Amino acid sequence: MDFTFLSTILDPILNAGPLFMIFIVFSVIGLIVKLGPVKAIRNGLMIAVGFNGVYIVVDYFLGTVAPAATALAERFGGVFTYTDIGWAAYASFAWSSPWAYLIVVLSLAVNLLMIFTDMTDTLNLNIWDFWESIIACLTIYVLTNNIIAGLVFSTFLAWFNLMMSDFNAQRGYCADLGFEGLSFYQGTNVAWGAFAHYVGKILDKTNLKQARFTPEYVQEKFGVIGEPAVLGGIIGLLMGIGAGYYWIDIVMLMISLATALILIPMMSGIVMSALVPVSEAAGKFMKEKAGGRELYIGVDPAIAVGNTTVLAATILMVPILMVFAFVIPGTVNMPLADLPALLFFWVFVVAPNRLDMIRTMIVTSLVGLYGTLAGILIAPWMTQVAILQGVDVAAGTGVTSWFCHLCPELLVAGLLGQNYGILGLPGLIAFCVIVIGITIFFRIRYLKRVKAKELVTAAA
Strands 122-124 and 296-299: parallel
Q: How far apart are CA 290 and CA 288, in angstroms?
A: 6
The ranges assigned to domains in the chain are 51-455
Check residue 146 and give left, alpha or beta (phi > 0: left; psi -120 to 50: alpha).
beta
Give 5-29 pLDDT, tens digit per residue: 555 665 666 566 667 767 877 787 7
Q: How far apart are CA 412 and CA 403, in angstroms?
A: 15
Distances (CA, A) of 309 to 189, 214, 217: 18, 7, 12
Give me the half-sphere count of Cα atoms (radius 13 Å) on the Cβ side of residue 110: 23
Q: How far apart are CA 243 and CA 153, in angstroms?
A: 42
Query: pTM of the full predicted structure?
Result: 0.79
Q: What is the pLDDT along the chain (460 residues), one digit of tens a residue?
A: 445 555 566 566 656 666 776 787 778 777 877 778 888 888 788 878 877 776 677 667 667 766 776 676 666 555 567 878 778 788 878 877 888 878 988 998 999 899 889 999 988 878 778 889 999 999 999 999 999 999 999 999 999 999 999 999 999 999 998 888 889 988 899 999 999 999 999 999 888 777 676 766 655 554 555 566 776 777 778 778 777 888 888 888 888 877 776 776 676 567 666 666 766 666 566 656 655 567 888 888 877 877 778 877 877 887 888 888 888 888 888 777 777 778 889 999 999 998 888 899 999 999 999 999 999 999 999 999 988 888 777 766 788 889 999 999 999 999 999 999 999 999 999 999 999 999 999 999 999 988 888 777 766 6
Share of the chain above pLDDT 70, in %: 79
Taking Cα atoms as reference points, which of 360, 330, 356, 326 lies closest to residue 343? 360
Q: How far apart are CA 33 and CA 413, in angstroms?
A: 38
